[in-house]
Amino acid sequence: MSGMVSEPSGQAVTGAGAVLAILRDGRARTRAELAQLTGLARSTVSHRLDALMSQRWVVPTEDAISSGGRPAVAFAFNENVRVVLAADLGATHARLAVLDLGLDVLAERAVELPIDAGPEATLGWLVGAFEEMLAETGRDLGQVCGVGVGLPGPVEHSSGRPVNPPIMPGWDAFPVPEWLGERIGAPVLADNDVNIMALGEHWTAGPAVDHLIFIKIGTGIGCGIIAGGKLHRGAQGAAGDVGHIQVPSASDTVCRCGNVGCLEAVASGASMAAALRAQGVEARGSRDVVALLRAGDSRAAQLIRQAGREVGRVMASIVNFFNPSTIVLGGDIAEAGEHLLAGVRETIYSRSLPLATQHLTIRASTLGDRAGVIGAAVMVVEHVLAPDSIDQAVTVDPAAVG
């Protein structure tokens, strides 16, 4: 049972991790309030707090709370006690961030970084960049509680290893968590880049949004799924691979995965750039397509609008099946704004059941380019600060149990 230990009688008792979970909402509380919330004796709460304060997870607040008598000391979650490192690696570029435990960004960096350079070159650069960014914030590796990494390909969640990633030569089965963990000295969690973007967007949207679909349209197309407030990865971590669903308009088009007719083959940034090059227009990738749109190029506008329709056709089936409350569009092509959104909305609303779209919101990402690093940090923080993890990290006096 998460965050619980047992009395000799077998009755479950809330552990230090569960006390911390209460304080993570940002509100300071007294021993009496924590005792009321947990059902524990005040002496037990005091021992839990002592254990948390010994590692500075919790600190007394500067201002005591008074109810007319002697001021009572309140305790708050210490968001600055550790930092999180986050990396969102794409096909051609990367975004890195150092964040505190409240997910405030302390340092950030965005660079051109081709993923096909291979794992050791890419991750080696990552370690060096993280060390430089930590120095900028006055921190060091000893204060890092975890690292979150998003990768642009399928990732086996249990191991954090890429599995036959089509645009990542040399990365198949590479031990990303182990390789990075040895050099940084902290636990490393890796996941598909769209999954972490979905986590970031859900964290921003808040707990009221329990069912969310995040669609990333960039060099490729991927989908992250929040179901019942939790990230849904599927049995092997492959859930959300909508880019390789077959669509009629691509029946004769070969996809980079080797199949024919994939959505990605006609609606991704890479496919649009290729279509523009075939017309004599210089376009290397997704960002060039959007830049051409903003410069008034009608061919780019038509391609983006049609890509929105194609994505919408696939998403209409998913809306009918999954019934999300929110669909969020992210990735480089989402920077096209209403040109893309209009095409997506057009086909979703015309092809989905009225009940499924009655309260459906379809919008662009709130976080934009930051969705991945915020989501990677969410993934790490929820792992590191899980009640069981905190209970293992702190030492609770056995005499305090009860």
CATH number at residue 168: 3.30.420.40
pLDDT at 328 over 70: yes
Q: Domain check: are 210 and 157 in the same one?
A: no
pLDDT in tens, 103-143: 999 999 999 999 999 999 999 999 999 999 999 999 999 99
Please indicate, yes or no, if residue 393 is contained in any of the structural domains.
no
Position 92 confidence tier, pLDDT thresholds 50, 70, 90: confident
Give the domain-ending residue among 153, 186, 219. 186
Number of domains in the chain: 3
Residue 401: the pLDDT is: 39
Same domain for 126 and 96: yes
pLDDT tens for each residue of 168-211: 999 999 999 999 999 999 999 999 999 999 999 999 998 889 99
DSSP conformation letters of 296-325: T-HHHHHHHHHHHHHHHHHHHHHHHHH--S
Same-domain status, 62 and 88: no
Alpha-carbon distance 119 to 100, whole Å? Answer: 27
State yes or no: pLDDT of 257 exceeds 90: no
Q: Are residues 224 and 330 in the same domain?
A: yes
More confident residue, 273 or 235: 273
> What DSSP line would sit under 37-63, residue for residue?
HH---HHHHHHHHHHHHHTTSEEE-SS
Q: Does any domain span residue 196?
A: no
87 and 53 within one domain: no
Residue 375 placed within a domain:
no
Of 186, 218, 241, the position where a domain reaches its end is: 186
Residue 400 has pLDDT above 50, yes or no: no
Query: Per mean pLDDT, which range of 40-44, 71-75, 76-80, 174-178 is the poorest?
Result: 71-75
Give the model's pLDDT for residue 330.
96
Residue 397 included in any domain? no
The token duo for 9 is: 């009688």
Is residue 197 a part of any domain in this protein?
A: no
CB 277 within 8 A of CB 283: yes
Domain that holds residue 121: 83-186
Q: pLDDT tens digits for 280-320?
A: 999 999 999 999 999 999 999 999 999 999 999 999 999 99
Residue 399's pLDDT band (boundaries 50, 70, 90)? very low
- Residue 337 pLDDT > 90: yes
313 vs 67, more confident: 313
Q: Is 389 part of a structural domain of the chain?
A: no
* Measured distance CA(216)–CA(10) in Å, rounded: 48
| Residues near 264 by beta carbon (within 8 Å), at least 6 away in sequence | 220, 221, 243, 244, 255, 256, 257, 270, 271
pLDDT band at 150 (very low <50, low <70, confident <90, very high): very high
- Return the CATH number at 74: 1.10.10.10
Q: Are residues 146 and 214 part of one domain?
A: no
13: pLDDT confidence band, cut at 50, 70 and 90?
A: very low
Q: Is 228 part of any domain?
A: yes
pLDDT at 12 over 60: no
pTM exceeding 0.85: yes
Q: Is 402 helix (H, G, I), strand (E, B) or coil?
A: coil
225 located within any domain: yes
Q: Note whether 137 and 214 are same-domain residues.
A: no
Task: Examine the fold and report which residue of 156, 186, 216 is the final residue of a domain before the chain moves on.
Answer: 186
Tell me, what's the pLDDT at 249?
85
| 249: DSSP letter | G
Residue 70: its pLDDT value, please? 62
Residue 251: its pLDDT value, please? 83
Residues 47-56, mean pLDDT to the nearest whole number: 94
Shared domain check, 343 and 227: yes
Q: Are residues 123 and 257 in the same domain?
A: no
Is 60 exceeded by the pLDDT of residue 2? no
Asked if residue 180 and residue 163 are part of one domain, the reply reads yes
Instruction: Report the share of the chain in percent with pLDDT over 70.
Output: 92
Q: Give the chain's mean pLDDT.
A: 90
Say whether both 142 and 224 belong to one domain: no
Same domain, 69 and 101: no
Could you report the per-residue pLDDT of 358-386, keeping only the tens digit for each? 999 999 999 999 999 999 999 999 999 99
* Confidence class for position 14, pLDDT limits 50, 70, 90: confident
Per-residue tokens: 113: 């970084």
What average pLDDT does this structure show over 391-398? 68
